Structure 1
């Protein structure tokens, strides 16, 4: 049993921000900005952090860099909030090694996406079942349902079967697109069939957060560069003020939608974090998107409009 007392579980809720991985202008890892960015997220009131996710450029890191990011983040957070570590990889052996290292450092659980291009329910179930058995019952698992990237559709029936069969499956990162009907179905079937209710945190940049909260989501697991909005919206929903939550959300929606663009979204997110002083450089490690002069001007206009609206 791992010693961390703040493991994720079925009751986890709030904003588990997907952390960017900062690099210097020359592409080298920037550990000082890891500290700054961690402080930034904590100051904005996040309930937890998720590091080494897809938007954290995890596949572009060496094994040594992966360890360095984990060690630096855990040291800076110092137990203030739970940290989930993304461990998705084509090799099950690598998944097990990284998950064990993360938990030894104090992780609250791991996030796992399926290997690419599994085609049938049986294949998807067998993949997750194999990894869950490999990791064992003491490592909490967040299933990442992100078919836009993985090419894998994880059906409601597969999710339900995994919840029934593996107690360590405690969380779903819900970012199927469109997927709100799936969210409703999971909640409805859990209620009707007496199934264990797991935590559901939503992704997709938070683009549909108000609707997803109304359908039974417990919060967000995404990396929008204004995490305080996500935190405030979730808090308003928890306080029974859905209209106020949506009014606040709508102020940020133009910029959120802009940041969510496929292709250049990560570059936009890191540029916003850079302009907000959270990281020293907006560098996206190659191969990755680059912003041109028009992109920079457009982003500045949207950020200025947001500031005026908030004022």
Structure 2
């Protein structure tokens, strides 16, 4: 059910930072038309850290309604507070999301045992498929393969978004977990390589601006057509890199605004893309054929 190109969807905002539901609906329709395989809402790219609890739940609810069963919806429900993550995960289940994505608790720097207990606690209390999310570059905590393996045995925990970009790490996880445990890339630049190691797709930033190309790339890689998948990836590589010239989602929101898909709104402490990065990102978009 969860494979291929899963876009880490931005949360469109107006220039004053208010949520733009019309643009969100249009983005979702565009992604479905372009072949995106699933929507991941209110993750890192969706600015979950700057939405309050009510907004967070409302974005999940509206995304589910807008998608209307056409493709799966995965709701970001992680938090650095276990009780808050539990509340968000229950809210996502109530909104009829298809699964949840739970980032490791950031800032607290829990031990591996703390990570295990946090995720197991939520999984044991909310009956919805849950995908772990390991991104130590943003959270300051790294979920090790042995902890992933322990959690893979917990009911309702069905996979991991591995965003370290470390392919040796991905290989070790694949060797430790059951075959039906989902291994998903959270790093666009290495996603094709991770799929070759046994992954089933990626949760992608690049798919926000190049949905058809990322969907085709994932489809070909999953089918074993690695030469064709790598050819698409090579075309997208300047874009993969340029979308991280500043902290995500600053560049991708600027790119979508240039495409006329959303307004330029972004919430503090995030700021608009620095002018010195406009031209490099524009050239990467042109090279990918999306501008």
Taking structure 1 as the reference length, the TM-score comes to 0.86
Shift of 1:226: 1.1
Please say if residues 201 and 220 of structure 1, whose CA atoms lie closer than 8 Å, have aligned partners that are also in contact: yes
**Matches of 1:87 and 1:56 in 2, distance apart?**
12
Match of 1:271 among 248, 254, 262: 254
- Write out aligned runs for 1:169-248 (5 A): 169-177=157-165, 179-190=166-177, 195-204=178-187, 206-224=188-206, 225-248=209-232
The correspondence of residues 155-170 of structure 1 with structure 2, limited to 5 A, is 155-164=144-153, 166-170=154-158
Secondary structure of 2:277's counterpart equals: helix
Measure how far apart 1:198 and its partner are.
0.5
Partner residue of 1:290? 272
Per the alignment, do residues 265 and 59 of structure 1 end up closer, same or farther by CA in structure 2, a change over 3 Å counting?
A: closer
Q: Is the 8 A contact 1:17 1:223 kept in 2?
A: yes
SS where residue 46 of structure 1 aligns? coil
What do residues 128-175 of structure 1 show as CA deviations (whole Å, max 9, x unaligned)?
22222233xx211100011111111111111111112x1211011111
Q: Which residue among 228, 243, 252 is the counterpart of 2:236?
A: 252
CA contact (8 A) 2:161 2:186 kept: yes
Cα-to-partner distance string for 1:276-308 (whole Å, 9 max, x where unaligned): 2322x122211103223332233223322332x
Question: 1:24 is paired with a residue of what secondary structure?
Answer: coil
Unaligned runs of 5+ in 2: none
What is the alpha-carbon distance in structure 2 between the residues aligned to residue 62 and residue 155 of structure 1? 30
SS in 2 for 1:55: coil
Distance 1:294 1:120, change over 3 A: closer
Q: CA deviation at 1:196?
A: 4.9
CA RMSD, Structure 1 to Structure 2 (Å): 1.9
Distance 1:121 1:99, change over 3 A: closer
In the other structure, the counterpart of 1:56 is 46
Q: State whether residues 110 and 140 of structure 1, in contact with CA within 8 Å, keep that contact through their aligned partners in structure 2.
A: yes
Q: Is the 8 A contact 1:55 1:266 kept in 2?
A: yes
Once residues 192 and 53 of structure 2 are traced to their aligned partners in structure 1, the CA distance between those partners, rounded to angstroms, is: 38
> Which residue is 2:59 aligned to?
69
Tell me the residue number matched to 2:37: 47
Structure 1 position 35, deviation (Å)? 0.7
CA separation of 1:250/1:197 partners in 2, compared to 1, >3 Å: closer, same or farther?
A: same
Q: Secondary structure at the match of 1:41?
A: helix
Distance 1:285 1:189, change over 3 A: same
Query: TM-score, with normalisation over the residues of structure 2?
Result: 0.92
Give the match's secondary structure for 1:207: helix
Out of 86, 92, 95, the residue aligned to residue 102 of structure 1 is 92
How much does 1:92 deviate?
Answer: 2.4
Q: 2:16 aligns with which of 26, 49, 53?
A: 26
- Structure 1 segment 101-140 matched on structure 2, within 5 A: 101-116=91-106, 117-135=108-126, 138-140=127-129
Contact persistence 2:60–2:97 (CA under 8 A): no
Deviation at 1:119, TM superposition (A): 4.7
In structure 1, runs of 5+ residues without a counterpart are 1-7
- Measured in 1, the distance between the counterparts of 2:66 and 2:136 equals 33
Partner of 2:142 in structure 1? 153
Distance 1:298 1:237, change over 3 A: closer
